[in-house]
């Protein structure tokens, strides 16, 4: 597959002049600028989401625990557990937001690059490849390469799956922190001994302890296949 793609690219590029190469580079650079601008815009627009979902809490968990007559070391551990749940939850929230941002940016860039490449292909097809303007051919190839590059990345980095896994983990840690605070501040489970509750929370923390960052190596060929198809259409 790679040998066929390399041979096809050499055939196409051999017929291009300087203006076509400049147009090719302009298309490639333009799509990258569009991608990073989209990611930056989304990052700015969602920068306050975590703070909006987690208002400042004035009640100290450890102090409330001690005031109820529970052993001090047990109260220290419960406060540690709240901190662990909060920090791990924030970690997974950032992971979820990053994957969602990259996924949207990659797909949006591939979509617009593919749309523009399709419009150029119609123009080139009417004129014929040999008669078409070199700049149009360079733009078409640059957009086709960008479409393949950006369109293949979401599957490669498993953006949707990693985002969903991090979202699920974030909500589970967030709910666990709420459960601990409710136990101490609202005394909503008076029948449960604090020491037993500590062991229960430890078990949940161990069960949730995971890092969601995975790639799918089988998708590495996806972009090259799309590029080969695009160059064959151009011919």
Record the tokens describing residue 140, joined without a space: 């078409």
As to burial, measured by CB atoms within 10 angstroms (0-12 exposed, 13-18 middle, 19+ buried), residue 101 is buried
Query: Which H helix or E strand runs over 8?
Result: helix 2-14
pTM tops 0.95, yes or no: no
Nearest to 183 by CA among 57, 68, 73, 83: 68
Q: What is the reported pLDDT for 147?
A: 92
Per-residue pLDDT in tens (0 to 9) along the chain, 235 residues: 557 766 766 666 565 577 888 888 999 999 999 999 999 999 999 988 888 888 766 567 777 777 777 788 888 888 899 899 999 999 999 999 999 999 999 999 999 999 999 999 998 888 888 888 888 888 998 999 999 889 988 888 889 999 999 999 999 999 999 888 888 877 666 777 888 889 999 999 999 888 888 777 666 654 455 555 555 555 5
| Distance, CA of 110 to CA of 63 (rounded, Å) | 54
Nearest to 195 by CA among 89, 86, 81: 81
Q: Is 140 helix (H, G, I), strand (E, B) or coil?
A: helix
N-terminal to C-terminal alpha carbon distance within the chain: 18
Q: What is the reported pLDDT for 11?
A: 65
């Amino acid at each position: 597959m790679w040998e066929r793609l390399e041979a096809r690219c050499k055939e196409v590029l051999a017929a291009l002049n300087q203006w076509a190469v400049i147009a090719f580079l302009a298309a490639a650079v333009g799509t990258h600028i569009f991608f990073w601008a989209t990611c930056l815009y989304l990052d700015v627009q969602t920068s306050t989401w975590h703070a909006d979902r987690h208002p400042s809490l004035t009640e100290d968990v450890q102090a409330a625990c001690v005031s109820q007559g529970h052993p001090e070391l047990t109260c220290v551990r419960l406060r540690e557990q709240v901190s662990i749940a909060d920090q791990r939850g924030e970690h997974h929230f950032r992971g979820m937001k990053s994957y969602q941002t990259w996924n949207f940016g990659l797909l949006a860039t591939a979509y617009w690059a593919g749309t523009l490449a399709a419009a150029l292909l119609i123009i080139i097809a009417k004129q014929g490849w040999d008669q078409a303007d070199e700049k149009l051919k360079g733009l078409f190839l640059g957009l086709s390469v960008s479409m393949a590059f950006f369109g293949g990345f979401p599957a490669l980095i498993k953006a949707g799956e990693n985002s969903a896994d991090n979202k699920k983990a974030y909500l589970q840690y967030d709910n666990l922190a709420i459960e601990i605070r409710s136990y101490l501040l609202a005394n909503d489970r008076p029948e449960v001994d604090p020491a037993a509750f500590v062991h229960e929370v430890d078990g949940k923390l161990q069960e949730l302890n995971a890092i969601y960052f995975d790639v799918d190596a089988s998708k590495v060929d996806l972009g090259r296949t799309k590029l080969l198809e695009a160059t064959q259409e151009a011919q």
